[in-house]
Structure 1
C-alpha cells in the first residue's frame, strides 16, 4: 500500500467536545431538540454522553457559534430556529476576509449581484401585490429621510433591495441578497461621495416599484439592471464620483 493510501485509511480520533457537538447537532437535525426547546443542562448532557463538563461546555459554545443555540447566562439555553439567515451568517467572517484579501473579488461579487437581482426582479414582478409596492414605496420615503447621512442612506438601500427580494417568497434569495449587499456596501463605504446623486437612486427605486406594481417582468428587470449599472459606475474601486 502506498504512503498516501496508508494515510487515507488512518482513523482520526475526534476530541470529546467534537463528538458531543456532533451528537447535539444530530438531535437538532432530527427534531428531538426543536426550535425554542430548552437545551438539557450540562449535568444531564454529561450523564447522557458519559463525558466531563469541559467537553460539554466546549460543545455548547460551538453550537452557539454556529447559530444553533443561544446561551443565556443566568438562564436556560434554547434551540434557535434554523433559517437561511442563520445559515448564511456563518459565512460572514470568511467572506469579509476573502473580500479584503483580494479586492478583485469585490468586482466578482458585483457581477453575481447583477445576475441575482435581475432574476429577483423578474420573479418579484410576477408576484408583486399592491401591499408589496406600498411597502417598497414606504422604504423609499424612509431612505429619503436619511439624505445627508451616507451610512444610514446605504442601510436604507439594503432594506429596499432586501424587501424586493422578499416578494419572490424565496427565503434563500432574501438571505443571500441581504448578506451580499451588506458585504458590498461595507467595502464601498470608504469610496463613496454622496454628491447629490441620492435623488437619482431614489427615482430609480421608484421606477422599479412602478414596473413591479404593473407586473411588468421585462420592464422590472430592465429598470433594475439600469439601476445597478449606474450604481457600478459610482462604486468602481478607485473612482469617486
Structure 2
C-alpha cells in the first residue's frame, strides 16, 4: 500500500489524511479492526504518542471507535457526538432559525419524496405511533420527542446515505429547531392541533406512496412553521 511518510508539520492532521487514504486503499468497512498502534505507527512513520493523539481526534470526529482494551475499529462515520459539542455556536448566529428552516425545507422535501417512493411495508408501523404520540401527548416534551423522531424516521426511510448523513450533521440543531418552533406555535395559537394534522397528512401520503402529496404536505408544514418567524 502506498502510504506517504508523515512530516513533523501538523502531524495529527497529516496522520488523519493518510488514515483516510488507508481506509480507501484497503477497502475497510465500518466494524473492521485496525492493526495495532505499533503497526500503524510504523506504517505512517510517526511516533506512537503522535498516533494516539491523532486517533483521539479521529474518535471525536467519528472516523474510528476505540474500545478500551479491545482494539480500534473503523466506525460508521458518526460525527454527531462532535457536532453536539459545537452546535450551540451555530445557534448564536443572528437569524439562524430562519436559515436553518430554509435548509430543512431543502433536505426534508427530498427526504419525504424518497420515503414515499420506498416500497418498505413497515412505514406505517414506524410512523403512526409517532403521529399518535403527538396527538395524545400530555406533556410538552412528549410532543417534542415524537416530532423529532418523526422527522428522523423520514430520513431513515429515504434510505439515502447522503441525506441521512446530512441529517446527522444538523441533528442537535434540528432538536432545538423543533422544540423552539413548537413553543412559539403554542404561545401564539394555543395548541398543536395544526401540527398534528400536518404530520398526519405527511404520514398518510408516505404510507400511500403518493410522492407529490408527501412533498406538498411536508412543504406546507415547514412553511407554516417558517411563517411564525416571519411575523
- Range class of TM-score, shorter chain: 0.7 to 0.9
1:16: how far off? 3.7
Change (3 A) 1:36 1:157: same
Aligned ranges 1:219-234 → 2 under 5 Å: 219-234=213-228
TM-score by length of 2: 0.77
Which moved further from structure 2: 39-48 or 72-81? Answer: 39-48
Query: How many residues get paired?
Result: 221
Residue 205 of structure 2 aligns to a residue in which SS? helix
Structure 2 gap ranges (5+) = 1-6
Give the Cα–Cα distance (whole angstroms) in 1 for the partners of residues 113 and 89 of structure 2: 32
Task: Give the structure 2 partner of residue 77 of structure 1.
Answer: 72
1:19: how far off? 3.7
Which moved further from structure 2: 126-135 or 21-30? Answer: 126-135
Residue 67 of structure 2 aligns to a residue in which SS? coil
Give the alignment partner of residue 202 of structure 1, picking from 196, 199, 204. 196
Q: CA RMSD in A?
A: 3.1
| Structure showing greater Rg | 1
Aligned ranges 1:27-176 → 2 under 5 Å: 27-31=22-26, 33-82=28-77, 86=78, 93=85, 96-100=88-92, 102-127=93-118, 129-144=120-135, 146-150=137-141, 152-176=142-166
Does the alignment pair 1:22 with 2:17? yes
Structure 1 gap ranges (5+) = 1-11
Change (3 A) 1:211 1:18: closer
1:105: how far off? 2.7
